[in-house]
Amino acid sequence: MKQYSHAWLAFMAIKRLEDVELSTSNRKYADSLIKWFKDHKDGVAQGAWYPDLIIKDMASSHVLKFTPGNDGERGKFRKLPTTYLLRQHCQDSDLRQRPYEIDKDTNLPDRCEAIAHSVIDNLKMQESEEKGSPIAPTDNHVATLLFMLSHYVADGHVPFHCDSRRFSDGKNIHGKLEGEWDDAIKKYYLLDEANERFFYNPAGYPLPDREKEQQYRGSFLKKVEDNLRNRDFNISWGTRNNNVWDFMSAICQHSYLFSYLFIPEGRDHTNVTAQNWKRLGSVSFEEVNIAVLCDAIDSIARIYFRIWRKYKRWEKR
């Protein structure tokens, strides 16, 4: 995924936590996170593209690549929460009956779990140390980690990040797909390009371009907004998933299934063209856009919330 998409998804996740219904105690946790995030977002939203521009672990930690097999026991698939579009689309995927292999050295769920721990550790260190202590991490540092985390989480939702076929080669439909998302976000929001960030509305979220409101109503971004508004939010990782790693593994497995619904078996970078790539499979291009972006926002919101709550409970110990 590209720069502005990543930052936008993190903001939309915080907005989602603001909009959804939560129990009274969870609302308190969410509100303290939202306030903290808004106080510290400035200057660190670039953290969302740090993994691409500085860390550059694209081939390992931004992906978990699956290849379907033919012989042997069928692969095991973890469950996603019922509200997930990825789950709904992939319920009847034929690939569920088949084994799969995961490319060695691809490890996106490990990366997400590691940063989640790091956020909590840094918050604990900060809380335990006197101000000015050389050990105490700054708020900006923790906020940067949260943006970095959202990057890896979002990448797990991109079908081509979980599919070993080489869609960055040939016509680079991987780049094209992500390009369409980034173009839409850059089109409908006002950008402070000199500072590589969004302009913000009074609530602290990316400021939509009022002049394009009419066009926006017909865009897939509006459908993402509508879908999320009507979708229940639960903080569950999904049945039998217990942590960020389990949950992100479930996401990547479904991303793999979804990739094959969009670009069916028998297709690869040699025979997908710039003309046909959007209409080869049983899910439409628009369904892909909506499922990926909605589910990514929901996942970032859930992960942010859960790690923040975990820290806050420690703080109250």
Residue 155 vs 298, nearer CB to Zn ion? 155
Between 62 and 157, name the residue whose CB sits nearer to Zn ion.
62
In the stretch 118-157, what mask flags binding to Zn ion with x, by CB under 5 A? -------------------------------------x--
Q: Is 298 one of the binding residues for Zn ion (CB under 5 A)?
A: no
CB 300 within 8 A of CB 154: yes
Nearest residue relative to Zn ion (C-beta): 62
**DSSP category for residue 204:** S
Count of residues engaged in binding Zn ion, rule: CB under 5 A: 2
Give min distance, CB of 1 to Zn ion, in A: 6
If the CB atoms of residues 113 and 155 are measured against Zn ion, the closer one turns out to be: 155
Taken in order 16, 191, 187, 276, is the CA torsion positive or negative? negative
What six digits make up the tokens of 276? Answer: 């046909």
CA angle, 7 then 207 then 51, to 5°: 10
Q: Report whether 46 contacts 143 (CB < 8 A).
A: no
Amino acid occupying residue 17: L
Question: Which residues face 198 on adjacent strands?
Answer: 191
| CB 154 to Zn ion: min, Å | 8
Q: Measured from the CB of residue 52, what is the shortest distance to Zn ion in angstroms? A: 5
78 near Zn ion, judged by CB under 5 A: no
Quick one: which segment of 24-32, 60-68, 222-230, 246-254 binds Zn ion (CB under 5 A)?
60-68
Return the number of other C-beta atoms located less than 10 Å from residue 174's C-beta.
20
Torsion of CA 288, 290, 294, 297, to 10 degrees: 80
Give the nearer residue to Zn ion in terms of CB position, either 30 or 251. Answer: 251
CB of 6 to Zn ion, least distance (A): 8
Residue 129 near residue 227, CB atoms below 8 Å: no
Side-chain half-sphere of 150: how many Cα atoms within 13 Å?
Answer: 34
Beta-strand relationship, 66-68 and 100-102: antiparallel
CB of 134 to Zn ion, least distance (A): 32
Binding mask 257-296 for Zn ion (x = CB under 5 A): ----------------------------------------
Contact 118, 145 (CB under 8 A): yes
Among 62, 65, 157, 278, binds Zn ion (CB under 5 A): 62
Task: For Zn ion, give the closer residue by CB, 155 or 287.
Answer: 155
Separation between Cα atoms, residue 77 and residue 86, nearest integer Å? 13
Least spacing, CB of residue 155 vs Zn ion, in Å: 4
Least distance from Zn ion to the Cβ atom of residue 7, Å: 13
> What tokens were used for 174?
């991987």
Q: Could you tell me which of 248, 311, 302 has the C-alpha nearest to residue 13? A: 302
Q: How many CB atoms lie within 10 A of CB 209?
A: 15
65 binds Zn ion (CB under 5 A): no
* Contacting range for Zn ion; rule: CB under 5 A; set: 54-62, 189-197, 246-254, 293-301: 54-62
User: Residue 238: which region, alpha, beta or left (left: phi > 0; alpha: psi -120 to 50)?
Assistant: left
Residues making contact with Zn ion (CB under 5 A) = 62, 155
